[in-house]
């Protein structure tokens, strides 16, 4: 067998994709699995967006390569949308369209990091941040947070981990997996600290539109001009427009960084799929009614299932404010059921209760599991009942 690169030898596969694949395998064997493992809306892309794509196919516009940084009309739409949601103005030259927000992050870390450069990642974190940093030969430095402080980092936490090698900091609000949202005050303090120490802020706002029960999400770029200049803003259409399969994300910020990301994209993907870019133009410039309806559906589901989750013995969980995940600490529940760790408990939930959840270990939180409520309410209620009954039976 040929020797693989050192780069991929230490890479872990995505924990969320791995559990989804395992659940699918069991489903294919005819087992009735209820899956709460998905990181994507369960809705179909709204009709008007589909029609934008169909028009682009039929007119022939979608047949050709686009500029590497994306279609000019889409970049204009992204700048207009970002101005509307953050109050911050970006020029199209400060914008790149990418194959999902995931690839925007990948390009950014590749462009930014030299061997050993450190990136501060608040834990719990989205599974891909550390792997992408490592693929760029950077060093992920985890900043631990606690349920009692809603899993949010403070300047003191960050300062304790800062070294001369610290190059960037990831801030994801609303957060996957915790669903927590940073306040303006918290973001201002973190932003000022990053400016003071010249640490680049990677602001992942992908769940910015999915907020519930009166909470609002603000972007760190809105805090001040200096903080905006210190930040690369990451966003995309996957989560807010039910468009995960289309693969359209984007990054906004310093023109030189964006240009180098574009150069790298020009040698790797050339450009994001043209038809998906036309669909994204429709998403960003068309009616926002479907996005609001989906948000309301997520809110209803959250409010319905959170109390059911809290009835399961041993579970503790802050009620999420945004995104579409619950991230309970189930270490006590696992113990009550006779499991020595939460990962084994999560495996038993899949194999015996037939409910797929993602073990928190992949998110840097071994006491937790992640449950996605991007599923039908009936499925969610049935899954909660299965978990509840499983725990009662094992206790």
Q: Which parts of this chain interact with ligand PLP (CB under 6 A)?
A: 39, 100-102, 126, 172, 176, 204, 206, 236, 238, 244, 249
Cβ at position 311, least distance to ligand PLP in Å:
28
Cβ at position 380, least distance to ligand PLP in Å:
19
Distance CA(383)–CA(309), nearest Å, equals 10
How would you class 87 by CB atoms within 10 Å of its CB: exposed for 0-12, middle for 13-18, buried for 19 or more? exposed
Cβ at position 2, least distance to ligand PLP in Å:
30
Nearer to ligand PLP, 107 or 353 (CB): 107
Nearer to ligand PLP, 339 or 373 (CB): 373
Nearer to ligand PLP, 181 or 206 (CB): 206
Nearer to ligand PLP, 166 or 176 (CB): 176
Q: Which residue is nearest to ligand PLP (CB)?
A: 100
Strand pairing category for 166-172 and 200-204:
parallel
How would you class 393 by CB atoms within 10 Å of its CB: exposed for 0-12, middle for 13-18, buried for 19 or more? exposed
Q: What is the chain's alpha carbon radius of gyration, rounded to the nearest angstrom? A: 21
Cβ at position 174, least distance to ligand PLP in Å:
9
Tokens of 256: 């030189």
Tokens of 369: 């599991």
Cβ at position 59, least distance to ligand PLP in Å:
26
Cβ 368 vs Cβ 47: under 8 Å: no
Residue 362 CB contacts under 8 Å (≥ 6 apart), including other chains? 12, 14, 15, 16, 127
């Amino acid at each position: 067998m040929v020797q693989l690169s050192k780069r991929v030898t230490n890479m872990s596969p995505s924990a969320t994709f791995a559990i989804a694949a395992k659940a699918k395998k069991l489903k294919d064997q005819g087992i009735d699995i209820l899956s709460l493992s998905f990181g994507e809306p369960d809705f179909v892309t709204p009709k008007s967006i589909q029609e934008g794509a169909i028009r682009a196919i039929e007119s022939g516009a979608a047949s050709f390569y686009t500029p590497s940084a994306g279609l000019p009309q889409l970049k204009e739409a992204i700048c207009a949308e970002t101005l509307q949601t953050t109050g911050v103005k970006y020029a199209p030259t400060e914008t790149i369209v990418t194959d999902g927000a995931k690839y925007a992050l990948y390009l950014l870390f590749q462009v930014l990091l030299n061997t050993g450069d450190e990136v501060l990642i608040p834990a719990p974190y989205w599974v891909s941040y550390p792997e992408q940093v490592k693929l760029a030969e950077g060093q992920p430095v985890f900043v631990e947070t606690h349920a009692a402080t809603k899993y949010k980092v403070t300047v003191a936490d960050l300062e304790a981990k800062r070294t001369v090698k610290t190059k960037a900091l990831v801030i994801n609000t609303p957060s996957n997996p915790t669903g927590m949202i940073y306040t303006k005050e918290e973001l201002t303090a973190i932003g000022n600290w990053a400016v003071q120490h010249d640490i680049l802020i990677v602001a992942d706002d992908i769940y910015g539109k999915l907020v519930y029960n009166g909470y609002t999400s603000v972007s760190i770029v809105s805090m001040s001009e200096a903080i905006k200049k210190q930040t690369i803003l990451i966003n995309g259409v996957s989560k807010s427009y039910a468009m995960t399969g289309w693969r359209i994300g984007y990054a906004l910020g310093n023109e030189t960084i964006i240009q180098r990301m574009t150069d790298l994209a020009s040698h790797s993907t050339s450009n994001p799929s043209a038809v998906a870019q036309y669909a994204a133009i429709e998403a960003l410039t068309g009616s926002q009614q479907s996005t609001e309806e989906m948000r309301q559906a997520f809110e209803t589901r959250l409010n319905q299932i959170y109390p059911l989750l809290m009835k399961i013995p041993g579970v503790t969980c802050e009620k999420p404010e945004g995104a579409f995940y619950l991230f309970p600490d189930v270490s006590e529940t696992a113990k009550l059921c006779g499991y020595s760790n939460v990962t084994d408990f999560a495996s038993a939930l899949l194999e015996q209760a037939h409910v797929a959840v993602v073990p928190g270990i992949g998110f840097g939180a071994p006491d937790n599991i992640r449950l996605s409520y991007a599923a039908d309410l009936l499925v969610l209620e049935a899954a909660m009942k299965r978990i509840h009954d499983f725990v009662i039976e094992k206790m």
